[in-house]
């Protein structure tokens, strides 16, 4: 198997999911992923120098996203941020069970209400299982900042999901 194909199999899902979490738009996530992949194809030694390929790719993905948001019109971003009920980003696989699908939909919307910096940290902590030290390196933060953003983010998710979660848990 070609080394790049191996990288796609090992890390493609994680990177795409991270981009989807950040952009909350599948077309944007696709474009960003393709741009990132093109960079890797044209410059394969980028990954050869990385100690942790997954962390390196997530770092690249985050930079790609920041570049995209800078290119975007500030007015558009303000409009998106002002939405009370953000659109579904399609972050999760459908469960084909009403309760579970409702929870996933609510989680998707709740994540959309988090500020971008908290959402990044929550994603990297919960789905990538990174330590706060690793998150701090990846996002150029101090570990304390990463930890506090995580706490704020998870508290907000708890608040937003509590009614539904209580309902699901009640037999």
Partner 1 sequence: MNSRIPPHLEDRIAQTPRRGLPADLRQACLAMRGSAPRPTPPVRQHAFWLQWFWPHPAAWGGLAILWCTILALHRLAPVPVNVLAATGPSTPLIKDPDSTRQLAHQRETREELLRQPLPPLDFDRPRKASPPSTNRIA
Task: Say if CB 153 and CB 121 are below 8 A apart.
Answer: yes
User: Of the two residues 30 and 59, which places its CB atom closer to partner 1 in the complex?
Assistant: 30
Among the listed ranges 26-34, 60-68, 75-83, 112-120, the one in contact with partner 1 (CB under 8 A) is 26-34
User: Of the two residues 126 and 137, which places its CB atom closer to partner 1 in the complex?
Assistant: 126
Among the listed ranges 63-71, 72-80, 101-109, 133-141, the one in contact with partner 1 (CB under 8 A) is 101-109
In whole angstroms, what is the distance from residue 105 CA to residue 116 CA? 19
How many residues in the shown chain lie near partner 1 by CB under 8 A? 37
In whole angstroms, what is the distance from residue 21 CA to residue 56 CA? 17
Is 46 one of the binding residues for partner 1 (CB under 8 A)? no
Is 2 one of the binding residues for partner 1 (CB under 8 A)? yes
Is 93 one of the binding residues for partner 1 (CB under 8 A)? yes
In whole angstroms, what is the distance from residue 55 CA to residue 52 CA? 5
The residue behind tokens 């706060």 is 132
Residue 11: name the closest of 36, 42, 28 by CA.
36
Residue 119: name the closest of 142, 153, 70 by CA.
153
| Binding residues vs partner 1 (CB under 8 A) | 2, 4-5, 8, 12-13, 15-17, 20, 30, 33-34, 37-38, 41-42, 90-93, 103-104, 107, 126-127, 129, 154-155, 157-159, 161-162, 165-166, 169
């Amino acid at each position: 198997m070609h080394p790049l194909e191996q990288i796609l199999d090992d890390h493609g899902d994680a990177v795409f999911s991270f981009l989807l979490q950040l952009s909350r738009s599948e077309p944007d996530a696709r474009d960003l992923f393709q741009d990132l992949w093109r960079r890797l194809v044209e410059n394969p030694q980028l990954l050869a120098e990385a100690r942790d390929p997954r962390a390196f790719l997530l770092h690249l993905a985050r930079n790609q996203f920041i570049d995209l948001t800078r290119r975007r019109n500030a007015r558009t971003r303000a409009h998106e941020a002002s939405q009370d009920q953000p659109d579904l980003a399609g972050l999760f696989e459908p469960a084909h069970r009403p309760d579970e699908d409702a929870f996933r939909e609510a989680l998707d919307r709740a994540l959309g209400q988090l500020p971008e910096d908290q959402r990044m940290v929550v994603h990297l902590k919960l789905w990538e299982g990174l330590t706060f030290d690793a998150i701090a390196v990846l996002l150029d933060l101090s570990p304390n900042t990463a930890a506090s953003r995580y706490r704020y983010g998870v508290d907000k998710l708890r608040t937003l999901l509590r009614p539904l979660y209580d309902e699901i848990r009640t037999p």
